[in-house]
């Protein structure tokens, strides 16, 4: 029961019911009154394999919120984060999600990293009328299948990411004939390949797929896959894997010389680069699920970005990876969305419904390029990809020959379904002068 409903209840049901509703809605304040704090629920992986994303993202949230509160918060209201571990599994996550919303008075949730978890929490957020910002999950189906009032995504989806990867690949190596894929055997591995394959078939129909390998999620060994790939000798090998799986695959492929004979395309490898160090060779196409990069060709020296990177390194002893940027983007969007709603509400503190409304159509800027949230709740986030090169001063390869692909060029338009849309892509998209290429 939310604050803005209280008035109508007063009118319609009389004092008794109103009294009861106030009792139940104790944490909810009447419209306009500024709360003492804004409780923000954040679901992130603190356990399980995906904690490679969740742990840095949590550190980023703490760093950002600390600074943001010190600077005055949202119109004087400070943000208090409540963290939930996504590694608990879907059921437990949902219990915790309901608990923090219904018992602790959380009004805004940042959830989730896992697409599976996004699918679970989105309908619940809509029911509970709590603003849910999907801050890292990639599934494009969620916002295409249903129109949500309280659910938005502050970053790109899998379609934007995969189409941009195909664009980068075709622009840098237009003449390859064969491709093989080695993805993790779960929703993301399967779905991302489906989008990639359909896009590739639309833009370059003569490419032959020579192997589709889906080793078990968390597989400790890829020797057999690597032998098979060496026998097949594909021109290009794609893997959208991440975390330990990607590290192991890259390491074993490197040890056995496979990375010399095939061009590797690893759209999530920015998040593994520092860990892999010299095990990640030069000349591999890598991406970062957005235009995030501490060496962003346009924004690496921008004071705010630079200061954040330095502080993050000092705190965690690592360079920020993409989930860090996604976290900051989501937090910035929540802050900007509130400010936008406050403005529209003539300076009064807005209801959750008003904030949710303000989030749709919001344009905000995290640490890298600005993101616009469309009317369907989907964020338009530009995509940066590059090729690995060793450079003095870094113990791991960094991206060069970077390219930023504008999001609207490679994202399914509002109201259309991705599986059909990617098939309608034309090779003209590769010639767009809006795709920016950076020499260094």
Partner 1 sequence: MSFELLMLAAADGFSYAGLLFLVSLGLTLIFGVQGILNVAHGSLYAFGGYTAATLAIWAAEKQAPTWVLLAALVLAALVVGVILGGILEIGLLRRVQDKDPVLQLLVTFAAFLIFEDLQRLIWGVSPYSSTEVVSRLGNFDIFGITYTAYQLLLIPAVAFGVYLGLLFALRRTRLGKQIIAVTHHREVATALGINARKIGLIAFIMGAFLGALGGALAAPTTSLVPGVGTDMIVLSFSVVATAGLGQITGALITALLIGLARSVAVYTVPELEVAVPYLIMVAVLLVRPNGLFTVAQARRI
The correct pick among 214, 394, 396, 438 for binding partner 1 (CB under 8 A) is 214
- Which of these, 122, 146, 147, lies nearest to 135 by C-alpha position? 122
Among residues 184 and 383, whose Cβ is nearest to partner 1?
Answer: 184
The mark string for 278-307 relative to partner 1 (x by CB under 8 A, - otherwise) is -x----------------------------
Among residues 228 and 372, whose Cβ is nearest to partner 1?
Answer: 228
- Rounded CA-CA distance 378/61 in Å is 22
Q: SS3 of 143, please?
A: helix
Among residues 185 and 376, whose Cβ is nearest to partner 1?
Answer: 185
The mark string for 14-53 relative to partner 1 (x by CB under 8 A, - otherwise) is --------------------------------xxxx-xx-
| Among 19-27, 190-198, 215-223, 353-361, the segment contacting partner 1 (CB under 8 A) | 215-223
- The yes or no reply on residue 8 touching partner 1 (CB under 8 A) is no
Among residues 94 and 211, whose Cβ is nearest to partner 1?
Answer: 211
Among residues 31 and 388, whose Cβ is nearest to partner 1?
Answer: 388
Cβ within 8 Å of residue 65, ≥6 positions away:
40, 79, 81, 331
The correct pick among 96, 245, 336, 381 for binding partner 1 (CB under 8 A) is 245
The two three-digit tokens of residue 347, written as one number: 């300076």
- The yes or no reply on residue 216 touching partner 1 (CB under 8 A) is yes
Phi-psi region of 10 (alpha: psi -120 to 50; beta: other; left: phi over 0): alpha
The mark string for 253-282 relative to partner 1 (x by CB under 8 A, - otherwise) is --xxxx----------------x---x---
Q: How many chain residues are in contact with partner 1, going by CB under 8 A?
A: 37
- The yes or no reply on residue 390 touching partner 1 (CB under 8 A) is no
Among residues 62 and 298, whose Cβ is nearest to partner 1?
Answer: 62
The correct pick among 243, 267, 290, 386 for binding partner 1 (CB under 8 A) is 243
The correct pick among 71, 175, 205, 220 for binding partner 1 (CB under 8 A) is 220
Cβ within 8 Å of residue 323, ≥6 positions away:
53, 54, 56, 57, 60, 113, 136, 271
- The yes or no reply on residue 231 touching partner 1 (CB under 8 A) is yes
Strands across the sheet containing 379-380: 363-364, 371-373, 379-380
Least distance CB 249 / partner 1 (angstroms): 9
Q: Tell me, rounded to whole angstroms, the distance of Cα 58 from its chain centroid.
A: 14
- Rounded CA-CA distance 144/133 in Å is 16
Least distance CB 31 / partner 1 (angstroms): 42
- Rounded CA-CA distance 135/257 in Å is 37
Phi-psi region of 73 (alpha: psi -120 to 50; beta: other; left: phi over 0): left
- Rounded CA-CA distance 275/308 in Å is 20
Q: CB count, 10 Å around CB of 255?
A: 12
Distances 218 to 52, 93, 136, 152, 196 between C-alpha atoms, Å: 13, 21, 20, 30, 22
- The yes or no reply on residue 244 touching partner 1 (CB under 8 A) is yes
- The yes or no reply on residue 190 touching partner 1 (CB under 8 A) is no
| Cis, peptide link before residue 267, omega less than 30° from 0 | no
Q: Which residues pair with 266 in a beta bridge?
A: 286
- The yes or no reply on residue 228 touching partner 1 (CB under 8 A) is yes
- The yes or no reply on residue 396 touching partner 1 (CB under 8 A) is no
Please report, as ranges, the residues that interact with partner 1 according to CB under 8 A. Answer: 46-49, 51-52, 55, 185, 211-216, 218, 220-221, 223-225, 227-228, 230-231, 243-245, 247-248, 251-252, 255-258, 275, 279
């Amino acid at each position: 029961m939310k604050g803005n409903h209280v008035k109508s209840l007063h009118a319609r049901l009389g004092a008794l019911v109103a009294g009861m509703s106030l009792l139940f809605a104790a944490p909810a304040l009447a419209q306009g009154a500024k709360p003492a704090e804004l409780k923000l629920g954040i679901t992130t992986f603190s356990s399980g394999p995906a904690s490679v994303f969740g742990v840095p993202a949590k550190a980023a949230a703490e760093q950002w919120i600390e600074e943001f509160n010190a600077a005055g918060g949202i119109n004087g209201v400070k943000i208090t984060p409540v963290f939930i571990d996504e590694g608990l599994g879907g059921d437990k996550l949902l219990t915790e999600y309901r608990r923090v919303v219904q018992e602790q008075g959380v009004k805004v949730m940042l959830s989730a990293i896992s697409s599976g978890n996004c699918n679970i929490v989105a309908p619940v957020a809509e029911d509970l009328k709590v603003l849910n910002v999907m801050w890292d999950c990639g599934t494009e189906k969620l916002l295409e299948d249903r129109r949500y009032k309280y659910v938005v995504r502050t970053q790109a989806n899998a379609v934007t990411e995969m189409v941009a990867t195909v664009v980068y690949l075709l622009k840098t190596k237009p003449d390859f004939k064969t491709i093989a894929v080695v993805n993790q055997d779960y929703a993301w591995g399967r779905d991302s390949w489906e989008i990639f394959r359909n896009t590739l078939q639309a833009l370059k129909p003569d490419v032959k797929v020579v192997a589709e390998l889906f080793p078990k999620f968390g597989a400790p060994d890829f020797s057999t896959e690597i032998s098979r790939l060496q026998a097949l000798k594909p021109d290009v090998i794609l893997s959208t894997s991440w975390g330990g799986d990607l590290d192991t695959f890259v390491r074993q492929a490197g040890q056995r010389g496979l990375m010399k004979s095939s061009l590797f395309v690893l759209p999530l490898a920015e998040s593994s680069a520092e860990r892999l160090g010299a095990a990640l060779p030069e000349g591999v196409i890598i991406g970062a699920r957005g235009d995030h990069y501490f060496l962003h060709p346009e924004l690496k020296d921008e004071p705010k970005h630079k200061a954040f990177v330095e502080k993050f390194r000092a705190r965690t002893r690592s360079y920020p990876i993409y989930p860090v940027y996604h976290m900051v983007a989501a937090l910035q969007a929540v802050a900007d969305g509130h400010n936008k709603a406050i403005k529209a509400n003539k300076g009064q503190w807005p209801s959750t419904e008003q904030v949710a409304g303000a989030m749709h159509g919001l344009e905000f800027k995290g640490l890298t390029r600005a993101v616009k949230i469309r009317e369907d709740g989907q964020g338009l986030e530009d995509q940066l990809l590059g090729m690995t090169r060793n450079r003095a001063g870094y113990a791991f390869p960094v991206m060069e020959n970077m390219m930023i692909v504008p999001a609207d060029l490679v994202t399914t338009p509002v109201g259309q379904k991705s599986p059909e849309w990617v098939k309608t892509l034309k090779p003209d998209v590769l010639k767009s002068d809006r795709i920016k290429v950076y020499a260094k």
